Amino acid sequence: MTSLLRTRISVRWWRALHWSAYLCWPVALVHAVGIGTDSRAGWPLIVTVGCFAAVAVAGLYRLTVPGHAG
């Protein structure tokens, strides 16, 4: 969404919105684990673990492969 808005808002606002997504992700992950009685069994657990794994792999790749860090 932030990239779609990029041409309509200032760079400062775009950057703030874009980076806030990185702060919201851990909150969403904790929320996913902590809701309902079925959050730790079946497909909700598979989705949560899959999301965590995908972000962990992407983060490790970015930090360890030359030319992809910061």
Q: Decide: pTM greater than 0.75.
A: no
Q: How is the chain split into domains, by residue range?
A: 25-70
- What sign does the dihedral 13-48-26-55 (CA atoms) show? negative
Q: Nearest-CA neighbor of 51 among 20, 59, 37, 2?
A: 59
57, containing H or E segment: helix 43-64
pLDDT digits (tens, 9 = 90+) for 23-59: 888 888 888 888 766 666 788 888 888 999 999 998 8
Confidence of residue 2 (pLDDT cuts 50, 70, 90): confident
Q: Higher confidence at residue 52 or residue 2?
A: 52
Q: Tokens 């949560």 belong to which residue?
A: 48
Nearby residues of 14 by Cβ (< 8 Å), 6 or more positions away? 2, 5, 6
pLDDT at residue number 54: 94
